[in-house]
Structure 1
């Protein structure tokens, strides 16, 4: 998560991909979504809007069935960040908020 939040999207993608291979269930879907989101922001930063759009669409599909909070990650916030960028409303980098405490607040 730290790599992603620092804008090191390629490094985050690589780290999550290794973990993803060994996971199942919601954690696997979360990792797939994060991998695709990181790849999307890489494309966006490279000026490849079409590629970013495609990867973000796939990320949203993977995360669609996840709870708003999954494995301590604020999935809803990430989905909102992606949706806002796709709507032309968000140019800033995303921020993964984690871990969250039981009340939904940041620790």
Structure 2
């Protein structure tokens, strides 16, 4: 089976609905040989992490259509990505609340880094993963990750490519103090 991230347009669901949505999706496809691993709920979309054969993708999307209109399908494969492309993709995914994909893109960057740069990129990844946990209605886990993210961001330079690291640090500190994850763009 192949791994896919399916994004459906979201008009009414909150992260608190993620388990209900995962169960509903599983019920809708219970006669298919697919696995709905989990659901994440963002402001504009619902993301399902699924395992399916390529030939079953169209029927799968049809069966899940009562949940919402399909917005995006991404085949998740391990690939070597150019560092600059990984950074550009990671920023796009972060700013569009596609935090798991942001994590994946920056992991490709991280694999090409050394020393202090490697830790800085890991800090960005940890912030993205914290938000992915929020989308799974696990905000307390996400908040718990912020301390480690801040350690990794450390006293690194104020910018990394076009990313304002000082702004990320400030947002992480603010979220730690408020004990609430508040989305922002990088």
User: Please, what TM-score do these two structures have when normalized by structure 1?
Assistant: 0.78
SS in structure 1 at match of 2:173: helix
Deviations 1:65-103 (A, max 9, x none): 21222333210101111121222286531210xxxxxxx
- Identify the structure with the greater helix proportion: 1
Alignment map for 1:1-107 (pairs within 5 Å): 1-88=91-178, 92-96=182-186
Considering only aligned residues, what root-mean-square deviation do their CA atoms show, in Å?
1.8
| 1: CA distance, partners of 2:141 / 2:181 | 16
- Identify the structure with the greater strand proportion: 2
User: Please, what TM-score do these two structures have when normalized by structure 2?
Assistant: 0.47
SS in structure 1 at match of 2:94: helix
Find runs of 4+ consecutive structure 1 residues off by over 4 angstroms: none
Point out where structure 1 has 5 or more consecutive residues left out of the alignment.
97-107
Point out where structure 2 has 5 or more consecutive residues left out of the alignment.
1-90
